[in-house]
Structure 1
Amino acid sequence: MKKALTRYRVMAYAVGVLLIVLCLVGVPLANFDGTPMWAGDRIPTPNWFDDGSRPDQFGHWITGFLGTLHGWLYMIFLVFAFSLARKAEWSMPFTLGILAAGTIPVVSFWAEHKATQRIRSDHPEEFRAPEPAGVGV
């Protein structure tokens, strides 16, 4: 159970950090150039960065490269989270909530915390600190 929890936690943090970088750095840099974000949209985005500027190019690199990396890592996260859910015998609603949490910035960290708390409370024998040598002799 410890190894499954560690794999899950590493992937939850990786996916969560990448999603925050994408949403709070990449998307504004790449898209906030004063043009509409969606075709046919009459409301323009804020004009923070000119189209083709260095920040705009960096934003496109973030959304392209890190966006793809996030997508692949999210698939691995789903496998690890589902594996942990099966081993821990979580209910389907709790499992689906944990799986979906990786799609919402910041919420993934809260979900990782809740999942870790639940594993540690449901399986305390696996997370008990070992007694120091010579105690109880």
Structure 2
Amino acid sequence: MTETTTTATTTPVNKVRGALLRYRILAWITGLWLLLLVAELILKYGFDVDALDFVPIVHGWVYFVYLIFTIDLAIKVRWPLGKIIVTAIAGTIPFLSFWFEHIRTKEVKAAYHL
């Protein structure tokens, strides 16, 4: 039984599909935790409320996993270094991870006919 591959790389489509799914899930989770982080910072510095002290730590670890999955996908689809860096930075700017997830998903789906 042989797996389908594309002409762009020798990476099997099933591995790209899995890496894309992991990237998409973590892009959304990272974006949501980043929005929660913004709310935490507003509460902390705007209203002197320390109710969400755990959010920066959780977002940091979620972002770390996002970076791993972004690099995993980038290696499988052979993104250039600039695209990897910009996609990685998207997890640090509110709402940008959602937009980049949409753009990168469209690109990968088009390139790999997913």
TM-score, normalized by the shorter chain, greater than 0.5? yes
Which runs of 5 or more residues in structure 2 are unaligned? 1-15
The residue type equivalent to 2:54 in the other structure is: F
Give 1:100 deviation, angstroms: 0.8
Q: Are residues 1:10 and 2:14 paired?
A: no
2:81 is aligned with 1:66: no
Question: Aligned residue for 1:57?
Answer: 50
Superposition RMSD on alpha carbons, in Å? 1.0
1:95 Cα deviation from its structure 2 partner? 1.1
SS in 1 for 2:103: helix
Q: Distance in 2 between matches of 1:97 and 1:19?
A: 17
Q: Deviations over 1:42-72 (max 9, x none)?
A: xxxxxxx3x4xxxx132xxx2x211101101
Residue aligned with 2:92, SS:
coil
Distance 1:4 1:13 in 2: 14
Note the C-alpha offset of 1:28.
1.2
Aligned to 1:84: 73
Task: Give the residue type in structure 1 aligned to 2:34.
Answer: L
Query: Larger C-alpha radius of gyration, 1 or 2?
Result: 1
- In the superposition, the TM-score normalised over structure 1's length comes to 0.69
| Aligned equivalents of 1:73, 1:31: Cα separation in 2 | 23
Q: Partner letter of residue 69 of structure 1?
A: V
Identity, % of aligned positions: 34
Q: Secondary structure at the match of 1:105?
A: coil
Runs of 4+ in structure 1 deviating by more than 2 angstroms, as ranges, are: none
Structure having the higher helix fraction is 2
Q: How many pairs does the alignment contain? A: 99
